[in-house]
Amino acid sequence: MIGKLRSIPLKILILRALLRRLPKNHPKRLQINEERSRREAGYQSEEYLDSLIEQLLGSKFIIFHDLNFSDGKSTYQIDNLLISPKLALIIEVKNMTGELTFDSINDQFYQRVGDKIKGYPDPVTQVQRHQSYINKLLAENNFPPVLVDYFIVINNSNAVLVFKGTSPEVRKRICKSHSFHKKVPLIENAHIENILTNKDLRKLSKLLLKKNIPPTNYILEKYEIKVYDLLTGVHCPFCWYLPIIRSKKQWFCPSCKEYSYDAHILALMDYFLLFNMKITNQQFRIFAHISSPDTSGRILRSTNLKSTGTNKGRFYYPEIIPW
Ligand SMILES: [Zn+2]
């Protein structure tokens, strides 16, 4: 069963929104665009692995693709989290080619392509951090102590894996995507006792979706961008001119002279991804450059956003993100 489908990962959506909202001459544009295209290429190859996971484990687990959590200090991006009455299972995916060395002696991970060597964050350390986060989340929310296990899957058939000092316990949890099916009995046979009830699973599914929030601060801090560096206004959906204006109950582009009914939807999406997950009428009015509070209120109410609070304290928010 699918608890959360893989939509375009939040990090990609944030990077795209950032490129729309950074001034054209901003010094970090090139770097941001590079990260965006690298992540977009990785996302495409993950779709194959998603269907493999769903096919092999979908009948026994509830599957959540691409979850982003934060505990205030750090962020945790989990490629796949699977839950069942017996087990919670994290599956981290690396879309990398070349010779990949897991060096457990020094907790490092590096890639050799030709005679070039490049270091990356160690996937084992990374997945163990995620494991601790999920353990803590379960304990804090009074779930029975179900085991949180993990796998690391290298999603590239040309990659060659090299292990240095990696313990057998860790090593058996790392594989390439074409041999992932061989790990399924290991997953199924090791855990036989039911720990979580169906009610626990429903509660946990809800909690995971509620905790899934855009890792915006992580990206803004990485590129040293402050929110006030970002451009406001609504983009023209035809020529990307910014900002378009409100005229005759529609959006009008002073550049290409086209009208649009729903150009504000993308602007709101940008707001939720880059500024805040909720918005008041006044904040929207300023962000979208609308002069009348009645107009901005009417536009907000015409969307499928949820709302809470009254009068000026009322704010609107998407039930799930991406919205
Ligand atoms: Zn236009």
Q: Are residues 33 and 100 in the same domain?
A: yes
CA 31 to ligand 1 center in whole angstroms: 27
CA 260 to ligand 1 center in whole angstroms: 9
Q: Are residues 158 and 35 in the same domain?
A: yes
Cα–Cα nearest to 151, from 92, 67, 79, 65: 92
pLDDT, tens digit, 9 for 90 and up, residues 9-62: 889 999 999 999 999 999 999 999 999 998 888 887 788 888 899 999 999 999
Residue 289 lies in a domain: yes
Q: Are residues 281 and 194 in the same domain?
A: no
User: Mean pLDDT of all residues in the chain?
Assistant: 93
CA 235 to ligand 1 center in whole angstroms: 8
CA 35 to ligand 1 center in whole angstroms: 28
Residue 198 lies in a domain: yes
Domain boundary among 175, 194, 218: 218
CA 227 to ligand 1 center in whole angstroms: 25
Q: Is the pLDDT of residue 8 over 90?
A: no
When divided into structural domains, the chain yields a total of 2
Domain boundary among 218, 251, 272: 218
Q: What is the pLDDT of residue 262?
A: 96
- The whole domain housing 122 covers 2-218
Q: Are residues 66 and 183 in the same domain?
A: yes
d(CA 156, CA 72) in angstroms, rounded, equals: 34
Q: Are residues 196 and 111 in the same domain?
A: yes
CA 258 to ligand 1 center in whole angstroms: 6
Distances (CA, A) of 317 to 67, 268, 302: 19, 10, 13
- Identify whether the C-beta of residue 63 lies closer than 8 Å to the C-beta of residue 1: yes
- Identify whether the C-beta of residue 119 lies closer than 8 Å to the C-beta of residue 110: yes
d(CA 32, CA 21) in angstroms, rounded, equals: 12
Q: Are residues 98 and 211 in the same domain?
A: yes
Residue 225 lies in a domain: no
CA atoms within 13 A on the CB side of 142: 1
Q: Which two tokens stand for residue 225?
A: 């961008």
pLDDT, tens digit, 9 for 90 and up, residues 201-253: 999 999 999 899 888 988 999 999 999 999 999 999 999 999 999 999 999 99
CA 262 to ligand 1 center in whole angstroms: 13
Q: Are residues 186 and 290 in the same domain?
A: no
